[in-house]
Amino acid sequence: MAQWDALVDAALASLAARRLLFNTRLISLAPPPAPSETFAGPEPWDRDTVEVQIDRNSLQQWLAANGVVSSQEDEVNRKLVLFSGNDYMCLSSHPAVREAAVKAAQEYGMGPRGSSLICGYTTYHKLVEESLAELQKKEDCLLCPTGFSANTAVMTALGSISSLLSAMRKPAEDERIAIFSDALNHAATIDGIRLVERQQEAVAFVYKHCDMSHLDSLLSSCSLERKVVVTDSIFSMDGDFALLPELVKLRRKYGFLLVVDDAHGTLVCGENGGGVPELFGCENDIDICLGSLSKGVGCQGGFIACSTPWKRLILSRGRSFIFSTSLPVPVVASVNAAIYISKKEIWRRSIIWEHVRYFASLTKLDITSPIIVIVVGSEEAAVSAHRHLLRSGFLVQPIRPPVVPPNSSRLRITLSAAHSSEDIKRLVDALTPWLPINHAEQSYAASSRL
Report percent pLDDT > 90 for the chain: 86
Pairwise CA distance, residues 54 & 68, whole Å: 17
Contact 104, 293 (CB under 8 A): no
pLDDT tens digits along 160-185: 999 999 876 789 999 999 999 999 99
The alpha carbon of residue 264 and the mean position of all alpha carbons in its chain are separated, in whole angstroms, by 4
Q: State the first-to-last Cα distance of the chain, in angstroms, to the nearest integer.
A: 61
Pairwise CA distance, residues 192 & 359, whole Å: 35
Domains of the chain: 44-82+346-448 (3.90.1150.10), 96-344 (3.40.640.10)
Span 431-439, average pLDDT? 80
Pairwise CA distance, residues 178 & 206, whole Å: 11
Lowest-pLDDT choice from 62-71, 192-201, 253-262, 354-363: 62-71
Q: What is the pLDDT of residue 441?
A: 41
pLDDT tens digits along 366-408: 999 999 999 999 999 999 999 999 989 999 999 999 999 999 9
Query: 140 phi and psi, to 5 degrees?
Result: -150, 180
Per the prediction, the chain carries an average pLDDT of 92
Pairwise CA distance, residues 386 & 394, whole Å: 9
CA max distance for the chain: 77
Lowest-pLDDT choice from 63-77, 94-108, 245-259: 63-77
Rg of the chain over all Cα atoms, to the nearest angstrom: 23
Report percent pLDDT > 70 for the chain: 93
Pairwise CA distance, residues 431 & 424, whole Å: 10
pLDDT tens digits along 10-30: 999 999 999 999 999 999 999
Left if phi > 0, otherwise alpha if psi is -120 to 50, otherwise beta: which for 420? Answer: beta
Lowest-pLDDT choice from 51-55, 62-66, 289-293, 434-438: 62-66
Pairwise CA distance, residues 336 & 371, whole Å: 25
Span 107-131, average pLDDT? 93
pLDDT for 70 beyond 90: no
